[in-house]
Amino acid sequence: MWPYWLLFLIPAYWAITRLKPIQQGALIDRQDGWPFLWKIAFILLVLMIGFRHEVGGDWETYLLMMNSYSDTSLNARDFGFQDPAFVLLNLISVKTGLGIYLLNILSAIFFCWGLFVFCRVQPRPWLALAVAVPYLITVVAMGYTRQGVAIGIAMVAMTALGQGSIFRFVLWIALAATFHKSAIILLPMAVLANSKRRIFTFFWVGVTSIILFALMVQEALSFLMSGYIEDAMQSSGAAIRIAMNAVPAALFLLFRKRFQLSVEQRSFWSWMAWSALFLVLLLAVSPSSTAVDRIALYWIPLQLFVLSRLPNALGRRDGKNLLWVAAVLAYSTAVHFVWLFYADTAFAWLPYQFYPWVWLSQ
């Protein structure tokens, strides 16, 4: 269990020792180059996610999926029915003979890149990364590999939209959907968050959505409806996970004026917050909590965005705000503790096994 705590304590340490937030103006060019410490953190995180061994509730499912790709008779329809980019990663991993570990390494690179791009445009990037550890990294990236990659790329899209680029947002979401079709659920945000030329945006984003739906979702829709809705699939803990999005959503809407945001950021994250609250209502009426639970995964970045900015919003603007940073870290520690010790599926993550060590011990 200690690797999971180490994974959390490293960014938590840097969050508590680097309390001075980055000024809003200094955030603009943060992606031009990563400091050495961030590069090291990226490599370590990719290795820990990518070289995990028999970790995650869907480990066997992904092994079976990979075995099915050893058949070279896949055709264009298979790529449309499935997730084409993820199928491609599987084929590369199978053909090289490196199997599930290469697949997980490649997936981890995509996920971690998106996560770091997102965190580094926050005034307290290390705090945002620490908030990501208990669920987004530990559970999603190490458990739901396909959706983890899609969320990582979606975070790049959210960063682009927060900077006012709707085109790049749609482009990145389209790429995310090639890893997991459900990422298309975020496309309407491009219309809702745009306060200028809304009719034009609605038109071209709508056309893009229809094309993506026809190419990628339509073939699989009946299967998804049968698997989630008709069979009324249920997920234990879905209400708690959706509440984890709803709480920061409510905080953001209550203190929205105290957050230092551009017009584009304020609009986008306001819609994300309102839709996170809507998911609470949707959970109450949906026949499948699993369906709502999987959709809500794309709202997890809201937790990182709000909680990492909360010390500035509730404390002194641009101040160190040690107590508020400590409060956010205490909350994240509690989430990490509760999941590791009490989650129904935590056994599939415990103990953490690192493949090179397992291989050397054989």
**Amino acid identity for residue 101 in this structure:** Y
Which residues share a beta bridge with 354? Answer: 52
Would you state the torsion angle of the CA atoms of residues 103, 185, 60, 83, taken in this order, to the nearest 10 degrees?
-50
What pLDDT was estimated at residue 293? 86
Mean pLDDT rounded to a whole number for the chain = 85
More confident: 126 or 75: 126
Domain membership of residue 11 (yes or no) is no
Q: Which of 279, 284, 319 is nearest to 300 (CA)?
A: 279
Distance of CA 234 to the CA centre of its chain: 21
And the tokens for 107? 């997936």
Domain membership of residue 67 (yes or no) is yes
Domain membership of residue 347 (yes or no) is yes
Please check the confidence at residue 30 and state whether its pLDDT lies above 90.
no
What's the average model confidence in pLDDT over 255-259? 93
Please check the confidence at residue 211 and state whether its pLDDT lies above 80.
no
Domain membership of residue 220 (yes or no) is yes
> Which of 177-191, 197-211, 264-278 has the largest mean confidence?
264-278
What pLDDT was estimated at residue 46? 98
Distance of CA 52 to the CA centre of its chain: 18
Span 96-109, pLDDT tens digits? 988 899 999 999 99
What pLDDT was estimated at residue 230? 44
Domain membership of residue 95 (yes or no) is yes
Task: Give the side-chain half-sphere CA count within 13 A for 183.
Answer: 29
SS3 319: coil
More confident: 285 or 232: 285
246 within 8 A of 280, measured Cβ to Cβ: yes
What pLDDT was estimated at residue 222? 47
CB-count burial class (<10 Å; 0-12, 13-18, 19+) for 73: exposed
Domain membership of residue 9 (yes or no) is no
What pLDDT was estimated at residue 214? 53
What pLDDT was estimated at residue 223? 45
Place of tokens 């947002």: 169
What pLDDT was estimated at residue 287? 63
Span 116-152, pLDDT tens digits? 999 999 999 999 999 999 999 999 999 999 999 999 9
**Which segment of 34-38, 154-158, 232-236, 280-284 scores lowest on mean pLDDT?**
232-236
Domain membership of residue 10 (yes or no) is no
114 within 8 A of 152, measured Cβ to Cβ: yes
More confident: 341 or 162: 341
Domain count, the chain: 1
**Amino acid identity for residue 135 in this structure:** Y
Domain membership of residue 7 (yes or no) is no
- Could you tell me the residue range of the domain that residue 174 belongs to? 18-357
Q: Which of 109, 128, 176, 147 is nearest to 308 (CA)?
A: 128
What pLDDT was estimated at residue 119? 96
